[in-house]
């Protein structure tokens, strides 16, 4: 997940915004929330 440049600009922006959150727990919550969808959309990146 560290190579957001290879993703589409909207997806990369969403990930970078989530990373910028001050609260690490909120970032983790967002990843868990979106993980099932991200796996289906980009299985090579979010496996």
Taking 70 as the pLDDT cut, the residues of the chain under it are 1-7, 47
- Give residue 3's pLDDT: 56
Q: Are 46 and 39 in contact (CB under 8 A)?
A: yes
Helix or strand holding residue 27 (H, E): helix 24-41
- Give residue 1's pLDDT: 46
- Give residue 4's pLDDT: 54
Q: Are 24 and 11 in contact (CB under 8 A)?
A: no
- Give residue 6's pLDDT: 63
Q: Are 7 and 42 in contact (CB under 8 A)?
A: yes
In this prediction the pTM is 0.46
């Amino acid at each position: 997940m560290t190579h957001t440049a290879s993703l589409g600009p909207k997806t990369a922006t969403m990930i970078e915004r989530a990373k910028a959150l001050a609260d690490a727990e909120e970032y983790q919550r967002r990843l868990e929330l979106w993980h099932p969808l991200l796996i289906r959309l980009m299985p090579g990146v979010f496996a």
